[in-house]
Amino acid sequence: MPRYESPFSGADPRKDVLSGFVVSLIALPLCLGISMASGFPPIAGILSAIIGGILVSFLGSARLTIKGPAAGLIVIVLGAVTELGNGDAELGYRRAIAVGVVAGVVQIVLALARAGVLRDLMPPSVVHGMLAAIGVIIISKQSHTALGVAPQATDPLGLIAELPHSVANANPEIVTIGVLSLLVLFGLPLLRVRWAKRVPGALVVVLIAAALGLYFDLDHEHTYSLGSHQYSVGPQYLVSLPGNLLRAIQTPDFSVIGSGTSLKYVAMFSLVGTIESLLSVSAVDSLDPVQRTSNANRDLLATGIGNTLAAAVGGLPMISEIVRSKANLDSGATSPLSNFFHGLFLLIMVVALPTVLHQIPLTALAAMLVFTGFRLASPTEFRNAWSVGPIQLLLFVTTFIVTLATDLLLGVGVGILLKVVLHVASGAPVRYLLRAPIDETRDGDRLTLAVHGAAVFTNYLGLKRRLDRVDDGVRTIVIDFSDACLVDHTVLEKLHLASQEMKLQTLELQGLEGHTPRSNHALAVRRKRRAG
C-alpha cells in the first residue's frame, strides 16, 4: 500500500522558487476577488495565503498543494458575515473571523481524530453537485459587480432574476473592463499557441484591466455621458488596500460565538472546508508525476492550525486549493517550498506595491470569479454525472437544487440521505450499510478479499482499512464482489484511485460479471442479477 515520505524529499529549491512566483501572480487577484465576494476586506484573502504559504508549508502540508482562500467557501463566509452582522458589515466580519478561529480548532481536533478518511466517504456526485451549486451562486452575485451595478436581491435565485435589470442599467466603462476580462479568460485557453498555455490568464486580465482603469481615470471621482445617460465612476470601483499591512490585522468578536447561527457556520466552515481540502489533496496527488501520496491527516492538521491563526488576525478560511495547486504542479513544483515561496512573494507584493495593487478594478476580479463559477457549474459536469448513470445524475441534480434553494450543509445532507435511500431501494441490506463482512484469504503473494452483503460508500472504510494493512509480501490484491448484491460508484471510483496510488501491489476486481451495470461507464453502479 502507499508509503508516506517526507514532503521535502526530492525537493529542488530552484524549481520551487519559480513555481512559487508563478502561483503568486495567479493567487494575488484571486485572493482579492474571493475576499471581496465573501464580504471580507480585500486584504483578508492575501493574509490567509501568506500564512498558508510561509507557515503552513512547514507544518506537514501536502507536498504540492497551495494553501489559500477558495471560491468554494465564498457562499458560506458571505452568509456568516450577513447573518452574524444583522446589517452591520464590520460587525459581521469580526464575528465571522471568530467563527473561523473556532472552526480552525475543530479542524485540528478532526485531524487528531484521523478524520482524513472523510475524503473516502463523500459520494462524488454529491460533491460535484454541491460545487456546481456554488458555481451558480458565485455567478449570480459577481455578474452584477462585473456590470457595475449593486443588486437589491440577496438570494441566488433573486440575483439571477435581477440580472436583466442590471444589464439594462450597467455602467459602460465598467462593463467594458468586465467583458474584456471575460473574453481573455475564456478565449486565452482556446488559442493554439504555446505561450497562451504558459501565461496565466489572471495575470493578463489584471494588466489589461489596470490599463483600462487608468485610461478611464477610475482613481478620481467623476461623471461622464454616453447617449442621453450620465454615469459616475471613481475609486469605489478599484481595490482598496491598507498602506501598512499591520493595519489590516483585525481581532475576532466572540460575543455571539455560542449562538445557533455561529455554531451552524462553525460546522459549515470546518466540514465543507475539510472535505473540499481533502478532495483537493487527493486530486493533486493523482496528478503528481512521481505518484507520491500525501498524509491527509497531517495536511488537515496543518490547515487547521493555519486557519486558526489566519482567522485570529482577520484572514479568510484556507484550504488546499485545487486551481492554484494545479498551476503549481504545472510550473514544476517539487515540494512544499513552492507553497512557502508563493506566500513569501505575496507578502513582498503587498508590502512593496500597495499603490500598484490599488489600480486593479473590482470588475476584473468579479470577472475572474464568474469564470471560476462557470468552471464549477459547467454543463460538462451535468454530462459527466449522466455518463456514470441516471442515479448519479439524480444525486447530482438533487444536491444542486437543494443547495441553491437552502444552504450547503442541507444540500449535501439531502444528497447523502438520498443515496442511502436509493441503495436500500436497490436491495442493499440495511444491516450491511455501515459494515460489510469481508473474508480474507492468503495464497503466497496473492491476497483475496471477498466482500459480502453490499459494497457502498457508507461501509467503504472497512474495506479501506483492510487494504491499508496489506504487508509488502503481497504482490496481488484481489477484491471479490461475487457475493455483494450491490457495488456502488463511490466504491469503484475509490478503488480505481487506490490502484493508481499502489507502488508495490496490483489491484484486481473479480465477481462483477454477475452484476448488471446501470450505464456503460466503467465505474457505474452494479447490481447483482437474480438467479433464473
Spell out the SS3 assignment of 10-62.
CCCHHHHHHHHHHHHHHHHHHHHHHHHHHCCCCHHHHHHHHHHHHCHHHCCCC
Of the listed ranges 271-280, 304-313, 418-427, 433-442, the least confidently predicted one is: 271-280
pLDDT at residue 5 in the model:
58
Q: Are residues 226 and 103 in the same domain?
A: yes
pLDDT at residue 354 in the model:
87
Do 166 and 151 contact (CB within 8 A), yes or no? Answer: yes
C-alpha cell read off for 251: 481581532
In order of 172, 229, 232, 300, 358, the CA distances from 219 in angstroms are 16, 21, 12, 42, 9
Q: Residue 165: pLDDT above 60? A: yes
Do 7 and 331 contact (CB within 8 A), yes or no? Answer: no
| pTM score above 0.85 | no
Query: In this predicted model, which residue has the larger pLDDT, 287 or 126?
Result: 126
Confidence of residue 472 (pLDDT cuts 50, 70, 90): confident
Q: Are residues 82 and 211 in the same domain?
A: yes
On the 0-12 / 13-18 / 19+ scale of CB atoms within 10 A, 408 is buried
Of the listed ranges 135-144, 264-273, 317-326, the least confidently predicted one is: 317-326
Q: Residue 192: pLDDT above 90? A: no
Q: Are residues 451 and 338 in the same domain?
A: no
**Mean pLDDT value across residues 312-323:** 92
Residue 216 lies in a domain: yes
Rounded to the nearest integer, the mean pLDDT of the chain is 90
In order of 84, 132, 300, 383, 519, the CA distances from 380 in angstroms are 36, 10, 30, 5, 17
**Mean pLDDT value across residues 95-121:** 92
Q: Residue 450: pLDDT above 90? A: yes
Do 66 and 342 contact (CB within 8 A), yes or no? Answer: yes
Q: Are residues 358 and 438 in the same domain?
A: no
Q: Are residues 173 and 311 in the same domain?
A: yes
C-alpha cell read off for 322: 485545487
| CATH (domain of 485) | 3.30.750.24
In order of 151, 170, 202, 217, the CA distances from 182 in angstroms are 20, 16, 10, 21
pLDDT at residue 286 in the model:
66
Q: Are residues 315 and 448 in the same domain?
A: no
Domain finish residue from 324, 343, 371: 371
**Mean pLDDT value across residues 194-199:** 75
Q: Residue 372: pLDDT above 90? A: no
| DSSP one-letter code for 504 | S
pLDDT at residue 289 in the model:
73
Give the count of domains, the chain.
Answer: 2
373 half-sphere exposure, CB direction, 13 A CA radius:
25
Domain finish residue from 371, 388, 419: 371
Q: Which of 81, 71, 79, 80 is nearest to 30 (CA)?
A: 71
Which residues, including other chains, have CB under 8 Å from residue 454's CB and lie 6 or more apart? 423, 427, 428, 429, 432, 433, 436, 484, 485, 486, 487, 488
Q: Are residues 481 and 351 in the same domain?
A: no
Residue 155 lies in a domain: no
* Residue 218: strand, helix, or coil: coil
| Per-residue buried b or exposed e for 369-387, using 16+ beta carbons within 10 Å of the residue's own CB | bbbbbbebbeeebbebbbe
Residue 198 lies in a domain: yes
Q: Residue 2: pLDDT above 50? A: no
Q: Find residue 451's DSSP bridge partners.
A: 438
Tens-place pLDDT, residues 16-65: 998 899 889 889 988 999 998 899 999 999 999 999 999 999 998 888 89
**Mean pLDDT value across residues 135-151:** 91
Query: In this predicted model, which residue has the larger pLDDT, 24 or 5?
Result: 24
Of the listed ranges 115-124, 130-139, 219-228, 260-269, the least confidently predicted one is: 115-124
pLDDT at residue 400 in the model:
95
Radius of gyration of the chain (CA): 24
Domain finish residue from 371, 405, 420: 371
Taking the C-alpha atoms of residue 116 and residue 379, their distance in angstroms, rounded to an integer, is: 30
Q: Are residues 435 and 357 in the same domain?
A: no
Q: Are residues 259 and 367 in the same domain?
A: yes
Question: For the chain, how are helix, strand and coil distributed in percent, rounded to 5?
Answer: 60, 10, 25
Residue 411 lies in a domain: no
Taking the C-alpha atoms of residue 70 and residue 506, their distance in angstroms, rounded to an integer, is: 36
Confidence of residue 282 (pLDDT cuts 50, 70, 90): confident
pLDDT at residue 1 in the model:
47
SS (H, E, C) 512-524: HHHEEECCCCCCC
* Residue 422: strand, helix, or coil: helix
504 half-sphere exposure, CB direction, 13 A CA radius:
12
Residue 59 lies in a domain: yes
On the 0-12 / 13-18 / 19+ scale of CB atoms within 10 A, 165 is middle
Helices (H), 193-336: 194-198, 201-215, 260-287, 296-312, 322-330
Do 18 and 331 contact (CB within 8 A), yes or no? Answer: yes
pLDDT at residue 61 in the model:
82
Q: Are residues 217 and 106 in the same domain?
A: yes
Residue 384 lies in a domain: no
| DSSP one-letter code for 486 | E
Percentage of the chain beyond pLDDT 90 is: 62
| DSSP one-letter code for 162 | T
pLDDT at residue 330 in the model:
78
Q: Residue 227: pLDDT above 90? A: no
Q: Are residues 172 and 51 in the same domain?
A: yes
Confidence of residue 502 (pLDDT cuts 50, 70, 90): confident
**Mean pLDDT value across residues 229-244:** 90
| DSSP one-letter code for 64 | T
Confidence of residue 485 (pLDDT cuts 50, 70, 90): very high
Q: Residue 198: pLDDT above 80? A: no
Question: Residue 468: which domain range?
Answer: 430-528
C-alpha cell read off for 336: 512544499
Do 102 and 304 contact (CB within 8 A), yes or no? Answer: no
Of the listed ranges 140-149, 334-343, 496-505, the least confidently predicted one is: 496-505
**Mean pLDDT value across residues 451-456:** 94
C-alpha cell read off for 282: 487527493
Q: Are residues 68 and 191 in the same domain?
A: yes
Residue 145 lies in a domain: no
pLDDT at residue 531 in the model:
59
Residue 168 lies in a domain: yes
pLDDT at residue 191 in the model:
86
Q: Residue 464: pLDDT above 50? A: yes
